[in-house]
């Protein structure tokens, strides 16, 4: 039914996934001693940056972002400002949640905040791209009948996969294996990234296989 959109989504996801890989591989060539564990924060910010830039570009090019009603520069600027604000607020929100989940409060605040930046760029940013800075719409999307387009469904799947990935990523931390990836927050950010990549693959696949059952209200 929405073959065209599914194809568009698949290619957009492929590009975003590629950007994650590039963000892992390119700095390794450029920066001395770069590794996912060793210089974890560097990798983390490189992935967040890449995903942010590429998603914004892709969704803007595809024209998914809800059309603005007014075309004045001022309105656009305020929208941009609001988006940035939401981005930052969402970082704080994730930081709080992660701390409440048991992350150290003071000792590794930078690591925790970096993880929340990564989570924000993998989840909130996509909400911003697809739905605009509208929290009510975000909440609405995450309900059974809340999705109004293929993109909304894709958003649901990737966000859920990312968060579940980060959640599962916390499991190995208490184990006494002494591996480099058990250090906070490596396993969580790896989990989130792997979850995100899984979501990128799963979303078009799931939509494709369920295209008969899916019905959307028009926007």
Partner 1 sequence: MKKLPVLSLLLWVCAVYFVGIYLFVGGFLLVRLEVNRTSTCGDVLQPGEEPADFCRVRPRFRRAVLLIIDALKIDFAWFDPNNTSPRPYENKLPVLEETVTSRPSHSRLYPFRADPPTTTMQRIKGFTTGSLPTFVDVGNNFASSAILEDNLIHQFGQVGKRVVFMGDDTWENLFPKKFHRSLPFPSFNVKDLHTVDNGILQHLYSTMVGEDWDVLVAHFLGVDHCGHRFGPDHPAMADKLTQMDGVIRSVIDRLQNDTLLVVMGDHGMTDTGDHGGESQKETDAAIFLYSPSPLFPGPPTQSEPDVVPQTDLVPTLALLLGVPIPYSSVGQVLLPVFPPHGQTGGAVGGLSQLEALWINAKQVNRFLETYSGMAKDIPPESLSQLKSEFSRLSSDYLATVRDGRPPSPRLAASLQAYLTSVRATCRATWARFNPLKMAAGLAILAFACLTCFIVSELSLVLIRESGPGLKPPVAVAFIAGVCVAVVQIGKQGYVEASWCLAAAALSSELLFLWRARRYRAVPVEKNGSKALKSPSWLTPRRLLIPPLLVPLLRCASLLSDSYVIAEGRAVTFLVFSLALYIPIHLNWDGLLLPPSHDPLKAAGFLPSPALSPSTVRKESGTLLACLGVLVGSLYLSLSFHACREEQGSCQPSPFLSPLARLQDNQLKNLHYVLSVLSLGLWTYLLKRCLRHYGNLNASSGAVFTARWILPLTSVCLALHWAVGATPEDSFRNLSELIGLAQLALPRAAFCLLGLGLFLIWLDPLTVFIKPKATTPTRGQSQTPPRYRASTGISTQAELHHLIPQIYQRMRRSLDDGEQVVGSEVDSSPAVKAYGLGTVYSAPLLLFCGMLGIGLLLLHPEGMALSFLLLLLEMGALLHMHASSTTLRGLHGTFSADFNVPWTPVVLWSLAATQFFHATGHLPTFPSIQWGAAFVGFPDGHTGTVLPASLVTLNTFASHILFSVGCPLLLFWPLVREVRGSRGGRACGDEGEDAVMEMRLRENPQRFTAALLQLATRYLFILGAQVFSSVCAAAILRRHLMVWKVFAPKLMFEASGFLVSSVSLLIGVALVLRVDVAVGGWFKRLIPEASR
By beta-carbon proximity to partner 1, the closer residue of 22 and 160 is 160
How many whole angstroms separate alpha carbon 86 and alpha carbon 78? 12
Backbone Cα Rg of the chain: 18
Restricted to residues 91-120, the positions that interact with partner 1 (CB under 8 A) are 99-102
Q: Does 132 bind partner 1 (CB under 8 A)?
A: no
128 versus 166: smaller Cβ distance to partner 1:
166
Spatial contact of 189 and 118, defined as CB atoms under 8 Å apart: yes
Span near partner 1 by CB under 8 A; candidates 35-43, 47-55, 113-121, 174-182: 174-182
Q: Rounded to the nearest 5 degrees, what angle is found at the Cα of 97, between the Cα atoms of 171 and 173?
A: 20
CB of 104 to partner 1, least distance (A): 11
CB of 165 to partner 1, least distance (A): 14
Subset of residues 37 to 96 that bind partner 1, contact rule: CB under 8 A: none
At closest approach, how far in Å is the CB of 205 from partner 1? 21
* Cα–Cα distance for residue pair 152/126, rounded to 1 Å: 10
One residue of 4, 71, 145, 212 binding partner 1 per CB under 8 A: 145
- Smallest distance, Å, CB 146 to partner 1? 7
Q: Is 167 in the site for partner 1 (CB under 8 A)?
A: yes
CB atoms under 10 Å from CB of 177, counted, come to 7
Burial letters 158-174, b for 16+ CB under 10 A, else e: bbbbbbebbeebbebbe
Query: In the bound complex, what is the minimum distance in angstroms from residue 80's beta carbon to partner 1?
Result: 26
How many C-beta neighbours within 10 Å does residue 1 have?
11
User: Are 214 and 9 contacting, i.e. CB atoms less than 8 angstroms apart?
Assistant: no
- Check: CB of residue 13 under 8 Å from CB of residue 205: no
Stretch that binds partner 1, among 25-33, 81-89, 119-127, 132-140 (CB under 8 A): 132-140
Least separation in angstroms between CB 39 and partner 1: 25
Binding stretches for partner 1 (CB under 8 A): 99-102, 136, 139-140, 142-146, 167, 170, 174-176, 178, 217
């Amino acid at each position: 039914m929405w073959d065209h959109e599914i194809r568009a989504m698949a290619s957009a996801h492929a590009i975003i996934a590629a950007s994650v890989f590039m963000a892992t591989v390119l700095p390794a060539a450029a920066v001395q001693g770069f590794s996912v564990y060793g210089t974890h924060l560097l990798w983390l910010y490189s992935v967040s940056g890449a995903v942010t830039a590429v998603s914004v570009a892709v969704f803007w090019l595809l024209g998914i972002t809800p059309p603005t009603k007014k075309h004045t520069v001022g309105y656009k600027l305020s929208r941009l400002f609001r988006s940035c604000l939401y981005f930052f607020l969402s970082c704080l929100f994730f930081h709080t949640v992660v701390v409440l989940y048991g992350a150290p409060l003071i000792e590794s605040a930078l690591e925790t905040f970096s993880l929340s930046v990564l989570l924000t760029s993998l989840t909130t940013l996509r909400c911003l791209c697809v739905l605009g800075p509208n929290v009510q719409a975000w909440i609405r999307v995450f309900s059974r009948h809340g999705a109004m387009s293929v993109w909304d469904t894709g958003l649901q799947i990737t966000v859920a996969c990312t968060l579940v990935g980060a959640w599962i990523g916390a499991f190995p931390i208490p184990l006494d294996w002494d591996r480099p990836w058990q250090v906070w927050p490596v396993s969580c950010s790896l989990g989130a990234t792997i979850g995100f990549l899984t979501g990128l693959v799963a979303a078009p696949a799931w939509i494709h296989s369920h295209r008969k059952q899916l019905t959307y209200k028009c926007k």
